[in-house]
Amino acid sequence: MAQMTGLGRRAVRLVPVDAAGRMDIARLRGLYDGDVAAGRIPFLLVGTAGTTGGGAVDPLPEPARLAAAWGLHFHVDAAWAGAAALSDRPRPLLAGVERADSVTVDAHKWLSAPMGAGIFLTAHPGALADSFRVSTGYMPPDSDTAPDPYLTGVQWSRRFAGLKVFLAPAAAGREAFARQVERDTELGILLARRLAEDGWPRINDSPLPVICVADPGAEAHGPDRSDAWHAAVVAHVVRGGRAWISRVRLDGRPAIRLCVTSHRTRAHDIETAVAALRTARVATPY
C-alpha cells in the first residue's frame, strides 16, 4: 500500500516480532522514538490479527494505546482472523480491535466467499471518501441518501464484488458462520494433534486453525536441503488432489502450512490430509 500511494517501501518500518511471531512492543517504541528523533513524522501504525503464514495475533490493546498516545491512525490487518468476531468463543482473540481506526477482513479467507473479497471497515467514513473523491461532469453527483461506491476504493470501472460477501451471510445468518468458525477451530486442534502423532511437530503458536509443521529429519540436513525437501513433499500432496497445503518460512525456518477455513471440511478430511502427508513423506527421500 505504501508503494501504491507513492510513499515507497522505504517509508515503511517493519517491527520485529517475538518468538511467537507477535509484534515486539519494546522494539516498536524504539523505532518510533528513533524516527521522531531523526525528524521523521510517523502517521500510521498497523497491527495484525492472524498473519497469513503462521496465524500470529499481535497484542492489539498495547499498539492501540500507543497509537492514541502518539496521535497515529491505528489500522488492524484482520484479513485472516477477522471472522472470529462472529463467534462469542474466539472473539476475545481480537481484544483491542475495537479501538482501531480501520480494519481489513478478507471474506475469501474464512467467510466462504470466492477469491477477491476484501472488506475495509473504518470509523472515519468521511476520510475514506475524501481519499478517493474525484469530481467530473460525466459522473453522478454525490447523494445524500446513499453512499457513493466510487468513493470507497481505487477502482472506478468495477464489478459488484460486495454482492458475494453479502449473499452468504444473508442466506445462512450469523449463527451459521459462528458455528463454522468454532468447528474449524476445533478441527485445527485435531489436525495439530494428528500431525504430532504422525511425527510432524508444530512450529507455530497460534489459536487459529493454521498449522505449520516441519520434519526434524529434513531439518538435520541444513536449511537449503530442508527447504527443498519440504517443497517436494508439498508438491507431492498437491499433485495427489486430496488436500491443498503450502510451503512457508517462519523466522527463516522451512515448513509446511495447513489451514482449515472451508465450511465443507470435516474430521475425515483431516485424516485424508494426514494420510497424504504420510505418503508424500515416504515417497520423498532426504
What confidence tens digit (pLDDT) does each residue in 169-189 have?
899 999 999 999 999 999 999
Residue 5 DSSP SS3: coil
- Does the residue 279 lie in any domain? yes
Residue 149: pLDDT band by 50, 70, 90 thresholds? Answer: low
**Per-residue pLDDT, 138:** 72
Residue 240: pLDDT band by 50, 70, 90 thresholds? Answer: very high
Please check whether residues 165 and 185 belong to one and the same domain. Answer: no
Please check whether residues 112 and 194 belong to one and the same domain. Answer: no
- Does the residue 1 lie in any domain? no
pLDDT exceeds cutoff 70 at 284: yes
What confidence tens digit (pLDDT) does each residue in 84-128 have?
999 999 999 999 999 999 999 999 889 888 887 888 999 998 888
- Does the residue 131 lie in any domain? yes
**Per-residue pLDDT, 53:** 93
Please check whether residues 65 and 167 belong to one and the same domain. Answer: yes
Average pLDDT over residues 47-53: 95
Please check whether residues 179 and 130 belong to one and the same domain. Answer: no
Residue 55 DSSP SS3: coil
What confidence tens digit (pLDDT) does each residue in 23-46 have?
999 999 999 999 999 999 999 999
Burial of 155 (0-12, 13-18, 19+ CB in 10 A): exposed
pLDDT exceeds cutoff 70 at 157: no
Residue that wins the pLDDT comparison between 109 and 4: 109
* Proportion of the chain above pLDDT 90, given as a percent: 74
Please check whether residues 193 and 141 belong to one and the same domain. Answer: no
CB atoms within 10 A of CB 147: 12
pLDDT exceeds cutoff 90 at 164: no
**Per-residue pLDDT, 96:** 96
DSSP state of 6: T
CATH of the domain at 224: 3.90.1150.170
Q: Evaluate whether 245 touches 53 at the Cβ level (below 8 Å).
A: no
Show the domain range for 49: 9-172
Please check whether residues 100 and 180 belong to one and the same domain. Answer: no
- Does the residue 3 lie in any domain? no
In whole angstroms, give the CA distance from residue 111 to residue 16: 30
pLDDT exceeds cutoff 80 at 159: no
Place of cell 478441527: 187
Please check whether residues 132 and 253 belong to one and the same domain. Answer: no
CATH of the domain at 115: 3.40.640.10
Nearest to 140 by CA among 132, 129, 148: 148
**Per-residue pLDDT, 259:** 95
| Chosen domain end from 120, 140, 172 | 172
**Per-residue pLDDT, 167:** 87
Please check whether residues 167 and 191 belong to one and the same domain. Answer: no
Please check whether residues 110 and 209 belong to one and the same domain. Answer: no
Q: What share of the chain is helix, strand, coil (3-state, %, to 5)?
A: 45, 15, 40
Please check whether residues 35 and 166 belong to one and the same domain. Answer: yes
